[in-house]
Structure 1
Amino acid sequence: MDNVISFSKAKKKLARAIKEKQAEENRAKFGRTKAEKDTSHKTSELENKRLDQNRIGDEEE
């Protein structure tokens, strides 16, 4: 009878494991850092600017 386990400790351990699994799923789902988001946003803005500058014909002014 060396394996006596406290029910409350086992319950807390299970709750931590469930929360960690949820956190891992959220990291995969929303995993980009603010810096990565900013870099992506700035890159897309620059690409759009270049496209607009090099546009030929059908200029709506």
Structure 2
Amino acid sequence: MGKMNVTNDMMLSLFAEMMLDEAIRDYREKKLYNEIDQALAAGDEQSFIALTTELNTLRSQGI
């Protein structure tokens, strides 16, 4: 039974890490959308391009 507990613990740890990664990615995506909106409102083209590039990179690394 010891080996099974270690395997279960490893699986739970991996699952927790995946959930945390997803939560961080979702938070960053929402923050980027907000920053993109602010750049648009301010007419800041350079920030808009940089932020949308970062958002696209983040999305391409996702699921």
The answer to whether the superposition gives a TM-score over 0.5 is no
TM-score between both structures, scaled by the size of structure 1? 0.41
Q: Report which structure shows greater RCO (CA 8 Å, sep ≥6).
A: 2
Instruction: Look at both structures and tell me which one has the larger radius of gyration over its CA atoms.
Output: 1
TM-score normalized by the length of structure 2: 0.40
